[in-house]
Structure 1
Amino acid sequence: MFRSYLRLAMFALGLLIGVQVPGFIDDYSKRVTAHRDESEQSLLGFRQTARQFFAGDLNALVAHYRASTDDVMRSDADSIAHLVERNSLMEAEWLAMQGPWYAQVWHLASDADQALLQETYDAYSYQILLAPQAIAWGIGCALLLAWLVELVFVGLGWTLGYGRKHKTIAYEKRHWR
């Protein structure tokens, strides 16, 4: 009886955890888009200057600033280089989040920007979406968690000898006769 309730509780917990996955992916994707748009806005003036003087090459603009004899220009070169690098990162993250759901999950699990991931996690508010992908994630996680807990308890019970019939005593008596 306890095992049945435990199984139900694990299923419910897995369901609640699973429905969070699409919401978190969506929040991360929106955060990446917002940072990407802000990054584009920050580079707008520099892009115009690069188009006018360097055929649109921002790296050539940065190299020009670095080659300047003016200390202010050289200092600004580092600032612009940082903006260009940040824009490249946001563009790569944005492109990764444009793929199918399994590619997005893989990206978040293996290659996402850790600062953005932490920022998303810190601002995330738990929600229950009733979208088809949330329901699928919920049921999948619920079944997986219930199965894993069941497997652990059955394995522990088997290891500790619960639920097994002890036929070894009868075998030993027969062997010694």
Structure 2
Amino acid sequence: MLFVRGLLDRLLVVCAVVAGGLVPGFIAQYRQRLGGRLDQARLDLEPWQRLADQFHHGDIRTLIQYHLDSGDPKFHAEGAVIRSLVDTVQQLQSTVDALHASLFRQVGYLLLHADPGLARATFNDWVPTFALSAEGIVFALAFAAVTWLVFQGAWRLAALAGQGLAGRASASPGEPIPQPRRLSPGDGRPRNGSQWRR
């Protein structure tokens, strides 16, 4: 059993180092895809920004309000579309800014705020790359260490649970569990004059 645990232990650490080393590459590809979405949203907003520059001194919020205040339903609907585009650009820009932090912060941000559709699309087209930067190697080693510690804890809990189940199964319900007898120095007899046996 010790051999199997040692083998699993080493295999898990190697796999965790490789998996941790692939995370920065995935984040870079996610960031590229996110940048593409931001560029497209800016292109969609550009004609409206030109109108704001021409008629409202560059203030797109005034253009949006002008459209929303209109009695024409089509004009009013355009105001909602422009506002949605502005909000999308701002949200995508804040996400891009958050993904220009350290690798550990990027991972934390994506764990909490990743766009599921964008993450799925990135994963489907993902080309695995191993990060060889200092930060990428440190992340891979830290990921492996955390994974190894979780494995050790799970293994110990499983071993304790197994011992508890085995102890309960061997003892009958009404019978007390026998306690081991303590040995005293008088319990041994000399053998060959130098060794003691019980």
TM-score by length of 2: 0.74
Which structure 2 residue ranges, 5 or more long, are not aligned?
A: 165-176, 183-198
What's the counterpart of residue 168 of structure 1? 179
AA partner of residue 66 (structure 1):
L
> Would you say 1:127 and 2:129 are equivalent positions?
yes
Deviation at 1:98, TM superposition (A): 2.0
Deviation at 1:22, TM superposition (A): 0.6
- CA deviation vs aligned residue, 1:146-172 (integer Å, no higher than 9, x gap): 22212221232233339xxx983326x
- CA deviation vs aligned residue, 1:63-92 (integer Å, no higher than 9, x gap): 211222333322222222221121111111
Q: Is the 8 A contact 1:14 1:144 kept in 2?
A: no
Which gives a bigger RCO, structure 1 or 2 (Cα 8 Å, sep 6+)? 1
> Would you say 1:117 and 2:128 are equivalent positions?
no
Which structure 1 residue ranges, 5 or more long, are not aligned?
A: 172-177
Larger Rg: 2
TM-score by length of 1: 0.81
Deviation at 1:111, TM superposition (A): 2.5
What's the counterpart of residue 174 of structure 1? none
Q: How many residues align?
A: 168
> Would you say 1:47 and 2:49 are equivalent positions?
yes
Runs of 4+ in 1 over 4 A off after TM superposition: none
AA partner of residue 86 (structure 1):
T
> Would you say 1:146 and 2:122 are equivalent positions?
no
Query: Considering only aligned residues, what root-mean-square deviation do their CA atoms show, in Å?
Result: 2.4
Name whichever structure is richer in helix by fraction: 1
Q: Is the 8 A contact 1:18 1:138 kept in 2?
A: yes
AA partner of residue 16 (structure 1):
V
Q: Is the 8 A contact 2:103 2:135 kept in 1?
A: no
3-state SS of the aligned residue for 2:180?
Answer: helix
Q: Is the 8 A contact 2:103 2:136 kept in 1?
A: no
Q: Is the 8 A contact 1:22 1:133 kept in 2?
A: no
